[in-house]
Amino acid sequence: MDNFNCNMIFLFSLVMFFFCYSHFVSAFEFQVGGNKDWVVPPANDTKIYNDWASENRFQVGDTLRFHYKKDSVMEVTEAEYKKCNSTRPNFFSNTGNTVYTFEHSGSFYFISGAAGHCERGQRMIVKVMVAEDEDSPSGGDAIKSSGAAVSPVGVSKLVLVQFVMSYVVASVMF
């Protein structure tokens, strides 16, 4: 009987672990523009990036991957976005393979830093949804990286601790 109780507690803990894991691990990487690179759009489709962004739901923790050649990507303020002003970016990368991670909700404004590209439609507004546990948008900056590697989203430390603790309790009690 004791063995049955121990197994049931372990099984319950395992189910709770996977429930919590699926709840906490929900970040995605988006290829900007879908299967297109970060390029100057055709003259008849200058809203291609904003159309793409509006078709997706972005959350805190999600990442954008920009692929491009002989260009750059910048995150700027709304005012700088409207003017296509690339002189004061909040973030700049010209590696050809840029990853940008959203650390808080709100609107993010991206433009190309290459002369004339923004004016020709190589720009995008991304709206990141408010997280359920986020009281208000924080003023912190997003985590930015230009490397090609993207680290996988791992298990929340809290979930892992809960799982280990429930296993230890089950082992000690039975």
The number of angstroms, rounded, from the C-alpha of 121 to the middle of its chain's C-alpha atoms is: 23
Please write down the HEC assignment for all residues of the chain. Answer: CHHHHHHHHHHHHHHHHHHHHHHHCCCCEEECCCCCCCCCCCCCCCCHHHHHHHCCCECCCCEEEEECCCCCEEEECHHHHHHCCCCCCCEEECCCEEEEECCCCEEEEEECCCCCCCCCCCEEEEEECCCCCCCCCCCCCCCEECCCCCCCCCCCHHHHHHHHHHHHHHHHHC
Within a domain: 5: no
Give the full edge-to-edge strand order of the sheet including 123-128.
91-93, 73-76, 106-111, 123-128
**What is the phi/psi pair of residue 139, to 5°?**
-90, 5
Tell me if 152 is assigned to some domain: no
List 63's β-bridge partners, or say none: 29, 101
The answer as to whether 154 is a domain residue is no
Q: How far is CA 15 from CA 11, 18, 154, in A?
A: 6, 5, 18
Write down the pTM of the prediction. Answer: 0.65
> Based on the structure, what is the number of domains in the chain?
1
Report yes or no on 3 lying in a domain: no
Can you read off the two tokens belonging to residue 115?
């002369």
Q: Is residue 166 assigned to a domain? A: no
In a domain, 162, yes or no: no
Q: What is the pLDDT along the chain (174 residues), one digit of tens a residue?
A: 566 555 656 545 544 544 444 445 568 999 998 888 999 999 999 999 999 999 999 999 999 999 999 999 999 999 999 999 999 999 999 999 999 999 999 999 999 999 999 999 999 999 999 876 555 444 444 444 333 333 344 444 444 556 555 666 566 555
* Distance from C-alpha of 145 to C-alpha of 119, rounded to nearest angstrom: 25
Contact 62, 153 (CB under 8 A): no
Domain assignment of residue 122, given as a range: 27-132
Does residue 157 form part of some domain? no
In a domain, 147, yes or no: no
CATH code, domain with 62? 2.60.40.420
